[in-house]
């Protein structure tokens, strides 16, 4: 990011290639719509490029980028007056399987998981998506959500417990 901050477009392109898939996946699951996620992904990287000179090297670029993406999603929902929703169809298109019988089984599992995720409060859903889908740790999630690592761990613990109950496991 230091090179990108100095205006090196090639360095920023490398950051884009390195992080775009994870940010996109997070946004698809957060918004439930691939087109919305694509728009937000592009806007997140555009904002990151525009703000590159204000980036503080004390933080991790990935957390900074996810914070931008999350805020854009929240702003979009607020602007459009929508609630946090997830869409099982978006999950199905984001995951592909080889065998038709495996696809049907996976679709059923995804639908069950989707219904369970929808029953979580938005803050818990975000923490689960960041931790399990993106692979972020408590420190990074805390940076992204503006929380503390301890609060993130509590939210994640409660969310996973609730998911286990909802899924009957």
Residue by residue, DSSP assigns 76-102 as HHHHHTPPP---HHHHHHH---SSHHH
Whole-number average pLDDT of the chain: 82
Segment 20-36 shows an average pLDDT of 87
pLDDT above 70: residue 126: yes
pLDDT above 70: residue 52: yes
Segment 152-159 shows an average pLDDT of 94
pLDDT above 70: residue 98: no
pLDDT above 70: residue 106: no
Segment 2-20 shows an average pLDDT of 90
Q: Which residue has the higher pLDDT, 165 or 108?
A: 165
The CA distance from 18 to 23, in Å, is 10
Locate 67 and state its tokens. Answer: 């914070």
Distances (CA, A) of 24 to 66, 117, 124, 141: 10, 18, 19, 16
Segment 7-29 shows an average pLDDT of 91
Distance of CA 27 to the CA centre of its chain: 5
**The CATH number of domain 121-169 is 1.10.10.10:** yes
Percent over 70 (pLDDT), the chain: 83
Residue 132: the pLDDT is 86
Residue 89: the pLDDT is 37
pLDDT above 80: residue 103: no
Q: What architecture does CATH give domain 2-85?
A: Orthogonal Bundle (1.10)
pLDDT above 90: residue 69: yes
Q: Start-end ranges of CATH 1.10.1740.10 in the chain?
A: 2-85
Q: Start-end ranges of CATH 1.10.10.10 in the chain?
A: 121-169
Least confident of 69-83, 124-138, 146-160: 69-83
pLDDT above 80: residue 77: no
Segment 24-33 shows an average pLDDT of 85
């Amino acid at each position: 990011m230091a090179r990108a901050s100095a205006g090196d477009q090639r360095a920023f392109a490398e950051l884009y290639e390195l992080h775009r898939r994870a940010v996109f996946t997070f946004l698809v699951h957060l918004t439930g719509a691939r087109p919305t996620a694509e728009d937000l992904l592009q806007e997140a990287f555009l904002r990151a490029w525009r703000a590159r000179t204000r980036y503080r090297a004390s933080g991790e670029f990935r957390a900074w980028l996810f914070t931008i993406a999350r805020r854009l999603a929240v702003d979009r929902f607020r602007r459009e007056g929508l609630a946090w929703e997830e869409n099982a169809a978006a999950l199905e298109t984001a995951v592909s399987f080889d065998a038709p019988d495996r696809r049907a089984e996976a679709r059923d599992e995804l639908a069950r998981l989707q219904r369970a995720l929808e029953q979580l409060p938005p803050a818990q859903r975000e923490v689960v998506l960041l931790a399990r889908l993106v692979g972020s740790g408590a420190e990074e999630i805390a940076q992204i959500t503006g929380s503390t690592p301890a609060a993130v761990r509590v939210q994640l613990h409660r969310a996973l417990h609730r998911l286990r109950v909802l899924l009957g496991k």
